[in-house]
Amino acid sequence: MDTNGRFGEAEEAAMRRALALAATDGVPLGPNPRVGCVLLGAAGDLLAEGYHRGAGTPHAEADALAQVDGRAPGATAVVTLEPCNHTGRTGPCARALLDAGVRRVVIAQRDTNPVATGGVDTLLAAGVEVESGLLVDEARALNQVWTFAVEHGRPFVTWKFATTLDGRSAAADGTSRWVSSLAARRDTHELRARCDTMLVGTNTVAVDNPLLTVRDAEDRPLPRQPLRVVMGERSLDPAHRVFGPEAETLHLHTRDPGAALTELFARDRQHVFLEGGPTLAAAFVRAGLVDEVVAYVAPMLLGAGRPAVGDLGIPTISKALHLDVTDVTVLEPAKPGDDTDVRITMRRA
């Protein structure tokens, strides 16, 4: 039992199981959170379990209740996120739990989404015992990006760039292919696949003509492709590869990072993978809109060339933007003779 005596051992075990269910591989990313539910009998025995499999599918509570024909009198529902209180593609989970006869609901994380919140109030008003906060840190970590987007009203932004040891993203003659190794490029595709949006500037499209899709180790496109977003006021030739049929593409005619993120959030986008050049990256950093930085550092020196990021308006070392390193990984070369790049992941301090 926890230090406050609010949760039993069976409930904590059930919550860990619910978190594991919510993290099941293959669940599509966004716009909905990952949620798991375990139903316990009066003696703490397992009645049913379920999880949400993506937008338009039954929510975790409904998935679990379906296994007991919608009836669980006297049961305890252990859920990783507050049951929703609204009717969307599916009905409100709070009402489903009431109709099933559940007497107690244990929640990890409260839902701050104004559209879905209110489930706890509905349950309490009907006389159901409700406790929240069990393994809340684990639940927030599971839905880190979704939680950030809901609480901040904008997508979480990961800025990825590749650089030489001396901070160059391209040589003096403009050549940049390839600053990063094959292993780094494959690793980048894995990171892209975890996001719902990839964002570049119009200059990157005009100069590099990227396809901007997610591909596997054999360079084959994955079934699910993030939204490709081009940001900038410049008109672009529709023949550029980014406008091809491989994935959906959106051109945001703005130079304002805040306006771009507002538009993307309105489109249910929660995680932006920023892959633009130094000018676009600098604009997002100056605006305070970069939440995570992923840098691939190649063991090479150029001595001159395009910097990895543009002017940040930082005049002195005391004003430097400090980042917290959360991970350092040395990437194994993908082929003999390839560089051994280092991936450094950082968060704003």
Beta carbons within 10 angstroms of residue 15's beta carbon: 24
List the strands of the sheet with 46-51, edge to edge.
Answer: 46-51, 36-40, 76-81, 104-109, 129-132
11 carries an active-site annotation? no
User: b vs e for 112-142, b when ≥16 Cβ sit within 10 Å of the residue's Cβ?
Assistant: ebeebbbbbebbeeeebebbbbbbeeebbeb
What is the pairing mode between strands 129-132 and 104-109?
A: parallel
Instruction: For 66, list phi and psi in degrees, rounded to 5.
Output: -60, -25
What is the pairing mode between strands 227-231 and 197-201?
A: parallel
Which residue of the set 61, 82, 275, 292 is catalytic?
61
d(CA 201, CA 155): 17
d(CA 17, CA 25): 14
Instruction: Catalogue the active-site residues.
Output: 61
